[in-house]
Amino acid sequence: MAVFGLLAALLGVVGLLAPGALLAVMGFESVPAGRRADGDHTAVFVTASSMAAVNMGIYYVLAALSDWKAFFRWTVPFRLLTCAVFTLAVVSGRAPAGFLGVGLWEGAGALVTAAALRREARTAVAGAQGAVG
């Protein structure tokens, strides 16, 4: 959780400071401001999503520091949903192939989180049974 949070916050800061670099990492063409069509709000979208990533990253780090298991559990289905939506965006042609990495990152993070929660729950049960026996 903390690693994901730090990476999300870091990528959010990159998006705020160097939006073209963030777009390039995700496989989007970065069009210079002078060549953008009237009404192109790409910069606004990148700013908003980057700020959201900074905030989300901080939430994840704080949840990890407080070992907030309920928060960890809540993230699993929503990160899987994000994986599905982002993957479908690539498959349907709404997003470039490079964006698939974002979806896969979310899916992998959800699976790792679910596995860690399951392992911790089993360890806790085994520890409790050992203390009783």
Q: Are residues 72 and 57 in the same domain?
A: no
Q: What is the pLDDT of residues 55-105, one digit of tens each?
A: 999 999 999 999 999 999 999 999 999 999 999 999 999 988 888 998 999
What's residue 133's pLDDT? 57
Range of the domain at 112: 68-133
C-alpha 124/C-alpha 120 separation (Å) is 6
Question: Of 67, 85, 103, at which residue does a domain stop?
Answer: 67
Q: Which of 111, 120, 122 is nearest to 76 (CA)?
A: 111
C-alpha 90/C-alpha 94 separation (Å) is 6
pTM of the prediction? Answer: 0.79
Q: Length of the chain, please?
A: 133
Q: Are residues 18 and 79 in the same domain?
A: no
What's residue 132's pLDDT? 61
Q: Are residues 52 and 34 in the same domain?
A: yes
Q: Are residues 44 and 13 in the same domain?
A: yes
Residue 52 and residue 22 in contact, taking contact as beta carbons nearer than 8 Å:
no
Question: Of 47, 67, 87, at which residue does a domain stop?
Answer: 67
Q: Which two tokens stand for residue 66?
A: 């407080």
Q: What is the pLDDT of residues 22-47, one digit of tens each?
A: 888 887 887 777 787 888 788 888 99
Q: Are residues 125 and 112 in the same domain?
A: yes
Q: Are residues 50 and 106 in the same domain?
A: no
Q: Are residues 83 and 128 in the same domain?
A: yes
Number of domains forming the structure of the chain: 2
Q: Are residues 56 and 77 in the same domain?
A: no
Q: Are residues 38 and 85 in the same domain?
A: no
Q: Are residues 78 and 132 in the same domain?
A: yes
